[in-house]
């Protein structure tokens, strides 16, 4: 049974341009879905539309069902309660996604207290636990730091800890490794993998980077120009079965990086 079902999701601007056209996919609890496409293909917009956080002047139609409840039909207040607690998101650039004037401790314990009635100290302890979950060891120092005092990799771990703060069932990760150096990328991907393993949440990984998807995801949605080209699996895509556009993406990625062959997985 799928946990999150995106069904015919369409986004239009107020002047009538169609940005997303009938996007349909679903993801089950504990599963990892990759959404891949070039920039401008609408993959990030899909994630924002699922969360109901489209920029002003854009309207989403269709259905986004979480356990059967249509999120697009929810009144704003009920949707606020879904965000963070049911569906959370990790953004591409952790430096701007975190508030520069707020310590990490307050940034993580805030959402913890928002959804769970916890005391200040209990929320702080929960924040420390979350930091350990994302493999940050010197929790006390990091909790007292401002985001700009941390390294890029640490910042993205902190973002992930924030997103996990309210124990969401679905985690949308929008290019979570694009702003990081290659070695740190690998660590963060491993961490995402580990978090899914441990928490059993459904991961939706949005990226332009095929090797990144290949490392983490099983199911694959290929997007182009605001529409889904095909729904497939990572092994099938790597084996060259399926749509011509998917093969193009795979070949292009093979030309610059060593992609695992289907047998090696």
Partner 1 sequence: MARHLLTRSLLTRVASLLVSLALAAVVVFVVLRLLPGDAAGASLGVGTTSDQLEGLRAELGTDQPVPVQLGQWVAGLVQGDLGTSFVSRQPVADLVAARLPVTLPLSLAAFVLAVLVSVPLGVAAAVWRRGPLGVVVSALSQLGVAVPVFWVGVLLVLVLALQLGWLPPGGFPRQGWGDPAAAVRALVLPVVTVAIAMSAVMVRYVRSATLDVLDQDYVRTARSLGYGRWAALRRHGLRNGAAPVVAILGIELATSLLGAVVIENVFALPGLGTLLLDSVEARDLPVVQALVLGLTAVVLVVNVGVDLAQRALDPRLRLTGGAR
SS3 assignment, position 145: coil
CA distance 28 to 66: 10
Q: Judged by CB, which is closer to partner 1: 20, or 88?
A: 88
**Position among 8, 100, 240, 260 found at the interface with partner 1 (CB under 8 A):** 100
Minimum Å distance from CB 201 to partner 1? Answer: 15
Minimum Å distance from CB 143 to partner 1? Answer: 15
143: Cβ–Cβ under 8 A, 6 or more apart, which residues? 103, 104, 105, 108, 124, 127, 128, 131
Output phi, psi for 97, to 5 deg. -75, -15
169 CB neighbour count, 10 Å cutoff:
19
Exposed, middle or buried, 117 (CB in 10 Å: 0-12/13-18/19+)?
exposed
Q: Judged by CB, which is closer to partner 1: 96, or 218?
A: 96
If binding is defined by CB under 8 A, does position 261 make contact with partner 1?
A: no
If binding is defined by CB under 8 A, does position 133 make contact with partner 1?
A: no
Closest CA to 157 of 141, 177, 183: 177
Q: Alpha helices, DSSP H only, in 93-143?
A: 94-97, 104-115, 120-133, 139-143
If binding is defined by CB under 8 A, does position 93 make contact with partner 1?
A: yes
Please give the DSSP secondary-structure letter assigned to residue 150.
S
Residue whose tokens read 């994302």: 134
CA distance 234 to 130: 30
Minimum Å distance from CB 208 to partner 1? Answer: 19
Closest CA to 87 of 22, 11, 24, 3: 3
If binding is defined by CB under 8 A, does position 46 make contact with partner 1?
A: no
If binding is defined by CB under 8 A, does position 91 make contact with partner 1?
A: yes
If binding is defined by CB under 8 A, does position 83 make contact with partner 1?
A: yes
If binding is defined by CB under 8 A, does position 25 make contact with partner 1?
A: no
**Position among 97, 134, 189, 237 found at the interface with partner 1 (CB under 8 A):** 97
**Position among 85, 118, 184, 227 found at the interface with partner 1 (CB under 8 A):** 85
Q: Judged by CB, which is closer to partner 1: 98, or 142?
A: 98
Touching partner 1, residues 57-76 (CB under 8 A): 76
If binding is defined by CB under 8 A, does position 50 make contact with partner 1?
A: no
27 CB neighbour count, 10 Å cutoff:
23
Q: Judged by CB, which is closer to partner 1: 147, or 242?
A: 147
CA distance 35 to 218: 11
User: How many chain residues touch partner 1 (CB under 8 A)?
Assistant: 34
Please give the DSSP secondary-structure letter assigned to residue 83.
B
Q: Judged by CB, which is closer to partner 1: 104, or 229?
A: 104
Selected range binding partner 1 among 62-70, 91-99, 190-198, 216-224, rule: CB under 8 A = 91-99
If binding is defined by CB under 8 A, does position 252 make contact with partner 1?
A: no
Are the beta carbons of 106 and 165 closer than 8 angstroms?
no
Binding region for partner 1 (CB under 8 A)? 51, 53, 56, 76-77, 80-85, 88-89, 91, 93, 96-102, 110-111, 114-115, 146, 148-149, 159, 162-163, 165-166
């Amino acid at each position: 049974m799928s946990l999150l079902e995106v069904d015919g999701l369409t986004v239009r601007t107020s002047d009538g341009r169609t940005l997303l056209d009938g996007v349909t996919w679903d993801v089950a609890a504990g599963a990892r879905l990759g959404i891949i496409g070039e920039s401008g293909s609408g993959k990030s917009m899909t994630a924002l539309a699922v969360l109901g956080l489209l920029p002003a002047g854009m309207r989403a139609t269709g259905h986004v069902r979480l356990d059967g409840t249509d999120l697009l039909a929810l009144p704003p207040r009920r949707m606020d309660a879904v965000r963070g607690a049911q569906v959370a998101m990790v953004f591409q650039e952790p430096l701007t996604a975190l508030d520069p004037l707020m310590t990490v401790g307050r940034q993580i314990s805030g959402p913890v207290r928002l959804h769970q009635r916890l005391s200040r100290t209990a929320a702080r302890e929960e924040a420390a636990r979350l930091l350990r979950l994302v493999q940050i060891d010197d929790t006390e120092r990091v909790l007292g730091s401002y985001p700009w005092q941390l390294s890029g990799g640490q910042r993205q771990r902190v973002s992930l800890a924030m997103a996990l703060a309210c124990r969401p069932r679905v985690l949308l990760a929008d290019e979570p490794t694009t702003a990081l150096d290659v070695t740190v990328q690998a660590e963060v991907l491993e961490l995402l993998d580990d978090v899914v393993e441990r928490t059993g949440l459904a991961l939706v990984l949005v990226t332009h980077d095929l090797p990144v998807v290949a490392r983490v995801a099983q199911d694959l949605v290929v997007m182009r120009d605001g529409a889904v080209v095909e729904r497939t699996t990572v092994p099938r895509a790597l084996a060259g079965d399926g749509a011509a556009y998917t093969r193009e993406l795979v070949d292009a990625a093979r030309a610059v990086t060593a992609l695992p062959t289907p047998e090696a997985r």
